[in-house]
A = this chain, B = another copy of it.
Amino acid sequence: MYSFKNDYSEGAHPQIMEALLKSNLEQTVGYGTDHYCDAARRIICEKIGREDADVHFLTGGTQTNLTVISAALRPYQAVISADSGHICVHETGAIEATGHKAIAMPAHSGKLTPSLIQKAVDTHTDEHMVQPKMVYISHPTEVGTIYSKAELEAISTCCKANGLLLFVDGARLASALTAQGSDVTLTDLARLSDAFYIGGTKCGAMFGEAVVLLNDAIKQDFRYMIKQRGGMFAKGRLLGIQFGELLCGDLYFELGRHANQMASLIKEACQSEGFSFVTDSVTNQQFPILPDTVLTQLEKNYLFEVWEKRSDGYTAVRFVTSWATHEQNVKQFVADLHSACKNSLG
């Protein structure tokens, strides 16, 4: 049984394991104030070209989203998101639990646009309604698509015009930045957003997310927010070590590129069998719509997620690849898909 269920099926990239092992018995101070974290912060600031950025390390995506969003908003303020956004769907109301409404806008291919943002602003007119104050986008989106630099610039401009903060969820940022056709860089994100995070958990780290704060209003007392929300990690150096390894050289991007290449093999196989897709994903998640007869055969040897059951004999499914996905397993899958299609037609 081989799993395409998600990109956190394995542990960490061997280089990271080695770094953790090597430093294991060294004594450091706690809570992210150690020299490993400091070094990782410097590397990130350099990579994004912003010496003034504040960088914090957290252990998971939902924790990161709820901490950043609740740090940025006053009680009556709300965050605008695509209706498919992680915070709207898959975080068990974590944002609402901090007291804030997430305004879900009906988005195409998981992407917000200036016109959707403007509509959210224009329909919230006075103190009888929440006040939109932040825009949340995922890059890549939850359905594998990415924003172009021009799209991000337009969103950023729209945010500034409306006094909105822009926060980018980069849980799978390695995949987005290395996707075919991507023209967005880390420095673009630092230039265009008020906060974003560099995902580790789904991009080669054992665990961890690096939050980059660019707007002074969010920076203030952010460590208080982390602690209060339960995200202050005692052995903070574990996070610093991991992000140091991922980002001091090109490792983070290599891992993203690999995941994308593995996904593109699956994409091409589905295309060549003539299947359509939920979205035109260029990243490490693919959402083909496959015949149930084919899926029945694939299920015997592969794990994957059902995305949406349909009534026409087809089901949309999700295949996820990662830094750890072996090319031989993907090739075997492509072959098995081809056989299943033939059997199913036969």
Contacts and interface: CB of A to CB of B under 8 A. Distances in A.
Interface of A: 2-3, 5-6, 8-12, 14, 17, 20-21, 23-30, 59-63, 66-67, 70-71, 74-76, 78, 89-94, 96-102, 104, 127-131, 201-202, 206-207, 221, 223-235, 238, 303, 324
20 contacts: A10-B26, A11-B26, A11-B238, A17-B21, A17-B24, A60-B230, A62-B230, A75-B97, A76-B92, A92-B127, A93-B101, A94-B228, A96-B99, A97-B99, A97-B228, A97-B229, A127-B223, A127-B226, A201-B235, A229-B229
A233 B60 contact: yes
Copies of the polypeptide in the assembly: 4
Contacts of A202: 234
B59 A233 contact: yes
Binding site secondary structure of chain A: loop
B238 A90 contact: no
Contacts of A228: 75-76, 91-94, 97
B127 A75 contact: no
Nearest to A78: B93
Q: Which of A28, A127, A233 has the most chain B CB atoms closer than 10 A to its own CB?
A: A127
A234 B64 CA distance: 13
A305 B127 CA distance: 16
Contacts of A28: 9
Contact of A92 (B2, B24, B129): B129
Contact of A227 (B25, B94, B100, B231): B94
A127 B93 CA distance: 10
Contacts of A71: 75
Contacts of A99: 93, 96-99
Nearest to A89: B129
Contact of A66 (B8, B67, B230, B303): B230
A244 to B, nearest CB: 15
Contacts of A78: 93, 96
A130 B90 CA distance: 8
A11 B17 contact: no
Contacts of A93: 76, 78, 99-101, 130, 228
Given A75-B97, A76-B92, A92-B127, A227 B24 contact: no
Nearest to A86: B128
Given A17-B24, A59-B59, 16 more contacts: A3-B27, A5-B29, A6-B234, A8-B30, A10-B25, A17-B20, A21-B21, A75-B98, A75-B228, A76-B227, A78-B96, A91-B128, A91-B227, A92-B228, A96-B130, A127-B232
A206 B232 contact: no
A234 B30 contact: no
Given A8-B234, A75-B97, A92 B227 contact: yes
Question: Which 5 residue pairs spanning A and B have beta carbons closest together?
Answer: A63-B230, A11-B24, A76-B224, A127-B223, A9-B27
A14 B24 contact: yes
A238 B8 CA distance: 11
